[in-house]
Amino acid sequence: MLIFVRICYCFLLKQDYYFLFSVTGALAADFLSGLVHWGADTWGSVDIPIFGKAFIRPFREHHVDPTAITRHDLIETNGDNCMLTLPALSYMAYRYFTLDQDAIEVSYKMDCFVFSLAVFVTLTNQIHKWSHTYFGLPLWVQKLQDWHIILPRKHHRIHHVSPHETYFCITTGWLNYPLEVIKFWPCLEWLIEKTTGVKPRSDDLKWAGKSK
């Protein structure tokens, strides 16, 4: 909380940087969420030792029961992402409370980007959970979805149409349409299939078939 107050104070001194680099950080988080989501949905198998059960299986199960995520508690939903961003935020907090204003301003633009990126990465799974929650959402969350500041429920439903091959970005969803227009994911899949011979989503389709 202290780092948030401190950075917001610095942001007030450089409002142009605040907006530009915060948006860029949010876009980066959205793209990373899509890259991870696409990778886990499209490649690999639940039979891979350790990694398959711990990382890939939840993505397979999510396509079978999309609302299961709404039954996860706060720690189960957000714990992994919080641990991922904690080192960067802790280091930033240390710097902001030990350096003077002149030293902070040297890396201020990058700090704006990293802070926004870390916050949106931290919240990605919670935002994803909200996109599957159709009852009891706080009004402010519904407004953020309606204004497309975070991933809207209707927007995310596009991904959950079989064979789950589009709209992978789950933080804000801002990049889903542009990436769809340029066929980013299909081109990447084509390149990987041509290089390795592995067909995309073969394990995901088998898993879906077993659940019927």
> pLDDT per residue over 6-16, tens digit each?
666 665 555 56
Q: Which two tokens stand for residue 180?
A: 């769809």
CA distance 117 to 29: 5
Query: Tokens standing for 59?
Result: 């993505």
The structure tokens 């040297």 sit at: 106
Q: Per residue in 14-70, pLDDT tens?
A: 556 577 888 999 999 999 999 999 999 999 888 888 877 788 888 888 988 999 999
d(CA 186, CA 94): 42
pLDDT value at position 46? 80
Per-residue tokens: 54: 């711990």
- CB 72, CB 88: distance < 8 Å: no
Residue % of the chain over a pLDDT of 90: 59
The closest of 41, 34, 35, 52 to 162, measured between CA atoms, is 41
pLDDT at position 211 is 46
112 vs 11: which has the higher pLDDT:
112
Rounded alpha-carbon distances, angstroms, from residue 67 to 42, 117, 131: 20, 26, 10
Higher-confidence position of 108 and 123: 123
Pair 144, 133: CB distance under 8 Å = no
- Write out the two tokens for 155: 């927007």
The pLDDT tens digits of the residues spanning 47-62 come to 888 877 788 888 888 9
Q: State mean pLDDT over 198-206.
A: 77
Q: What is d(CA 64, CA 49) in angstroms, rounded to the nearest whole number?
A: 22
**Residue 87 and residue 79: Cα distance in Å, rounded?**
14
Mean per-residue pLDDT, 171-200: 96
What pLDDT score was predicted for residue 1?
A: 54
What pLDDT was estimated at residue 64?
Answer: 87
Q: What is the pLDDT of residue 17?
A: 59
Number of structural domains found in the chain: 1
**151-172, pLDDT tens digit by residue?**
999 999 999 998 889 999 999 9
Q: 97 or 35: which carries more pLDDT confidence?
A: 35
Phi/psi-derived region of residue 129, left when phi > 0, alpha when psi is between -120 and 50, beta in every other case: alpha
Domain interval for residue 183: 2-211
